[in-house]
Amino acid sequence: MLVLALDTTTRGGSVALVDGDRVIEERTGDAARSHGERLPAEIVALADASRLALADVDLYAVALGPGSFTGLRIGIATIQGLALVHRRRVVGISALEALARTGSSAAPPGTFVAAWMDAHRRDVFSALYRIARAPAGTDGRLELIEEPSVGDPSSTLARWMSALGVTPTVFVGDGALLYEAEIRRAIVSAQIEPPPLLAATIGRRGAARASDAMDPAALRPLYIRKPDAELARDKK
């Protein structure tokens, strides 16, 4: 199954072509330009370089968020448009799940993994996972311990360690790098992983969840936090 996957949750983002569990190619985007300026040209260029036509794609997969509101809207709209034109279905994947899967691929069972993305305003988008005794790449390999949320890094750590009694040993994402000092004050031996490209993992997860694929119009972004416009309206 040929899957085209797109991640626009960060400025650079990434795009990938995946055949089942095999990555044909994965590319990062030009972070000096906005997603609106680059898409869908970057997708077309990847397909051309792989000597494939977009009509050859069997399934589309896209990061639902969290991340930049504008980036999410552009990425999801791009995938919706391509899927509608070519009459294909789509799978939406949490960027936090993709981060945890990619950043903890070598971690042993029982490891608690924290996916942290910079949410600005001194907050992180976060989710907590545990590596289970299941084959790598399967749904059962990663157990969700706490749903995606947004909050202060120190408060997030305190909640996990006090209320849940969990001490993550692997942190992955740009939020983990940004707040490494806070993490190490609480967990000296924490393993901090830089943010990896996500499109290939999103493509693999899309192929694995093909039975859950939906109509493009049914995609909904995972914002977690309300857009600024809504917050300003609520304040008024």
Say yes or no: 91 and 11 in one domain: yes
Contact 50, 27 (CB under 8 A): no
Contact 57, 87 (CB under 8 A): no
Could you tell me what percent of the chain has a pLDDT over 70? 95
The CATH number that applies at residue 122 is 3.30.420.40
Q: Is the pLDDT of residue 234 over 60?
A: no
Say yes or no: 87 and 106 in one domain: no
Residue 93 to residue 166: CA distance in whole angstroms: 25
Average pLDDT, the chain: 94
Say yes or no: 106 and 162 in one domain: yes
Could you tell me what percent of the chain has a pLDDT over 90? 88
Residue 20 to residue 137: CA distance in whole angstroms: 11
Say yes or no: 85 and 133 in one domain: no
Say yes or no: 115 and 189 in one domain: yes
pLDDT at 228: 58
Mean local confidence (pLDDT), 214-233: 80
DSSP state at residue 162: I
Nearest to 34 by CA among 72, 64, 62, 84: 72
Count CA atoms closer than 13 A to 15's CA, side-chain side. 22
Say yes or no: 77 and 119 in one domain: no
Say yes or no: 12 and 25 in one domain: yes
Say yes or no: 18 and 45 in one domain: yes
Q: How many domains does the chain have?
A: 2
pLDDT at 2: 98
Q: Is the pLDDT of residue 115 over 70?
A: yes
Nearest to 124 by CA among 177, 53, 200: 177
Range of the domain at 17: 2-95+197-235
* 60, 114, 188, 200, 222 from 123: Cα distances, Å: 31, 14, 21, 27, 16
Sign (positive/negative) of CA torsion 223, 28, 2, 142?
A: negative
More confident residue, 232 or 66: 66
Nearest to 103 by CA among 43, 185, 190: 190
pLDDT at 8: 98
Residue 188 to residue 198: CA distance in whole angstroms: 27
Say yes or no: 21 and 105 in one domain: no
pLDDT digits (tens, 9 = 90+) for 19-40: 988 999 999 999 999 999 999 9
Tell me which amino acid residue 143 is. Answer: E
Say yes or no: 83 and 103 in one domain: no
pTM for the predicted model, two decimal places? 0.93
Say yes or no: 13 and 70 in one domain: yes
Say yes or no: 11 and 73 in one domain: yes
pLDDT at 106: 87
Residue 137 to residue 22: CA distance in whole angstroms: 12
pLDDT at 229: 55
